[in-house]
Amino acid sequence: MTDTLRIAVIGAGYWGPNLARNFRASPHWELAAVCDLDLDRAGRLAGPGSGVRVTSSVEALLADDTLDAVAIATPAATHHDIACAALAAGKHVLVEKPLADTSGRGEAMARAAAENSLVLMTDHTYCYTPAVLKIRELIEEGALGDILFIDSVRINLGLIQPDVDVFWDLAPHDLSIIDFVLPGGLRPLSVSAQGADPLGAGKACVGYLTLPLQHGAIAHVHVNWLSPTKIRTMIIGGTKRTLVWDDLNPQQRVSVYDRGVDLQTQSLDGVERRAAAISYRLGDTWSPALSEREALDSMVAEFATSIRERRAPRTDAGSGLRVLEVLEAASRSLAQGAVVTYPIAPHATELHAQLAGELA
C-alpha cells in the first residue's frame, strides 16, 4: 500500500459524483475508477482524458489488485452483495447511508469486514460537518452536563420517494447525528413511531419518532416531506446548558444557552417541596467558532486515516447498524401501532462491542 490510496466509486448517480469529486481532490486518495451500469454516465463522471478507468462490471473492478478501497453509492438493496464481494476481494469499503436495507444484511457486512481485518465505514456525512463535530466535542467535555433531551426537526417540501417512507429517507440523518454525539451511541430503550399519509401516497409522508434513552432522557425526531418551509434544527438540552443547531443559519449555526431549570434537592415534602425545588437559570448565550471545511472532505480523510491506523472509523459499521435497528423498529412500530421495546437484540449488542475495538 502506497502513501496515496487508490479507490473506485461504484455508482455514478445522485451521490457518486459528490464522492468522486472529494476523492479526486483529496491528497490521501487517487480516484482510480468509476463503475456504473450506464457507461456513458460513468465516463462523464470520470472525465475525458483523466486516466480514470471506466467499467460497468463490479467483478472486473474488484479483480484489480492495485485498488485499496471502494466507495459504494448504489441503492441500499445492493449494498450487501457489493460490499461483501469487495471485502472478500480484500478491499476496504465505504458505504453510502443507510449501511444496508436490513440490519441482518448489515451485520453480515460487518462480520465480513471484521473477519478480513478490513475497514467498513458508513458515510454518515452530517457527522463530519464542523457543526456536528463541535457539538460532539462540547458534549464530550461536559459543557452541556448530562443530556436531558434531544429534539430534532428535518422538514421540507421534498420528493416523495418511490421505495421508502419519510422515516427511511430523512431520519437516518438525524439518527446518525444523535448516535455520533451521544457517548456510547444511540441505544434507545424503546422506539415509538407515528406516521401519516394525508396524500394517499401509500407510505408515511409525515413522521414522528420518540426514543426514550437511559437515565430518563428522551429524543424526538420529526420528519416531513410536505412542509412548505425547510427547517433543519436540533436542540440538545443538558443539566448545565442547552445547545441549538440551526443548519440553515450560516452566520450562527450553533448556539449554546446557559439557561434552564435547576431542581434543588431539599428535604421537604409534598406541595412545599415541589414549589421550593425549582429554580430558573438565565445566563449568557454564545456561539463557538466553526471551521470552514466541507463535510465530505473530512469524511474521506477519516476513511484514509482509519485504514492507515488500522482502527475503526468514527462512523463505523456499528453506527450504521444502530441507525438501521432504530429504522426497522420504527417500521414495526408504525405497522403494529405499538411501542417497540429493546430494538437492539443481545447478539447485535455483542457485535457492536466487537466492532468498537481496533482492527485485528
Domain that holds residue 175: 128-286
Nine cell digits for residue 2: 502506497
- Residues 12-33: what's their mean pLDDT? 97
Cα dist from 73 to 16, 36, 94, 285, 315, whole Å: 5, 10, 9, 40, 16
User: Are residue 266 and residue 194 in the same domain, yes or no?
Assistant: yes
For residues 190 and 250, state if they share a domain.
yes
Q: What is the pLDDT of residues 67-100, one digit of tens each?
A: 999 999 999 999 999 999 999 999 999 999 999 9
pLDDT tens by residue, 192-202: 999 999 999 99
Residue 323 domain flag: no
Q: Going along the chain, which residue ranges are E strands?
A: 5-10, 29-35, 53-55, 69-72, 92-96, 120-123, 147-157, 190-196, 206-212, 218-224, 226-238, 242-246, 254-263, 278-286, 340-341
Q: pLDDT tens for residues 110-152? A: 999 999 999 999 999 999 999 999 999 999 999 999 999 999 9
Indicate the residue type of 27. P
Res. 354: pLDDT tops 70: no
Q: What is the CATH number of the domain that holds 261?
A: 3.30.360.10
- Cell 450506464: give the residue: 38
The reply to whether 142 falls in a domain is: yes
pLDDT category at 1 given cuts 50, 70, 90 is very low
CATH of the domain at 103: 3.40.50.720
Q: Give the pLDDT band of residue 260 (cuts 50, 70, 90).
A: confident
| Selection from 218, 217, 236 nearest residue 134 by Cα | 236
Q: If DSSP codes are grouped into helix, strand and coil, which group holds residue 269?
A: coil
Q: Is 214 exposed, middle or buried (0-12, 13-18, 19+ CB in 10 A)?
A: exposed
326 pLDDT above the threshold of 60: yes
Q: Are 51 and 31 in contact (CB under 8 A)?
A: no
Q: Has residue 334 been placed in a domain?
A: no
Beta strands across the sheet bearing 242-246:
278-286, 254-263, 242-246, 226-238, 147-157, 218-224, 206-212, 190-196, 340-341
| pLDDT on residue 356 | 53
CA angle 57, 109, 348 (to 5 degrees): 165
Residue 96 lies in a domain: yes
Give yes or no for a contact between 8 and 70, defined as CB atoms under 8 angstroms apart. yes
Kindly report, residue by residue over 214-251, the tens digit of the pLDDT.
999 999 999 999 999 999 999 999 999 999 999 999 89
- Kindly state whether residues 155 and 107 are assigned to the same domain: no
Check whether residue 109 and residue 145 sit in a common domain. Answer: no
Answer yes or no: do 84 and 231 share one domain. Answer: no
In terms of domains, do 137 and 180 share one?
Answer: yes
∠ Cα 333 334 340 (to 5°): 5
Q: Any residues with CB less than 8 A from the CB of 55 and at least 6 apart, and which?
A: 33, 34, 35, 39, 42, 61
Whether 111 and 157 map to the same domain: the answer is no
Q: Is residue 28 situated within a structural domain?
A: yes
Q: Whose grid coordinates read 460537518?
A: 129
CA dist 186 and 197 (Å) reads: 27
Instruction: Give the H or E element holding residue 79.
Output: helix 76-88
- The domain total for the chain is 2
Cα 41 from chain centre: 27
Percent of the chain with pLDDT over 90: 82
Contacts of 312 (CB under 8 A, 6+ apart): 119, 306, 318, 355, 356, 357, 358, 359
Mean pLDDT, all residues of the chain = 91
Please check whether residues 102 and 132 belong to one and the same domain. Answer: no
Report whether pLDDT(345) > 60: no
Same domain, 137 and 251: yes
Is residue 139 included in any domain, yes or no? yes
Task: Concatenate the DSSP letters of all residues of 308-339 into one string.
Answer: HTTS--TTBHHHHHHHHHHHHHHHHHHHHTSP
Considering the domain architecture, whether residues 164 and 188 belong to the same structural domain is answered as yes
Looking at the structure, tell me whether residues 234 and 176 fall in a common domain: yes
Backbone angles phi, psi at 114, to 5 degrees: -65, -40
pLDDT at 346: 47
Grid cell for residue 204: 408515511
Do 188 and 252 lie in a common domain? yes
What digits encode the pLDDT tens for the residues 163-195? 899 999 999 999 999 999 999 999 999 999 999
Show Cβ contacts of residue 180 under 8 Å, excluding neighbours closer than 6 positions: 124, 127, 132, 136, 314, 315, 319
Q: Does 333 fall in a domain?
A: no
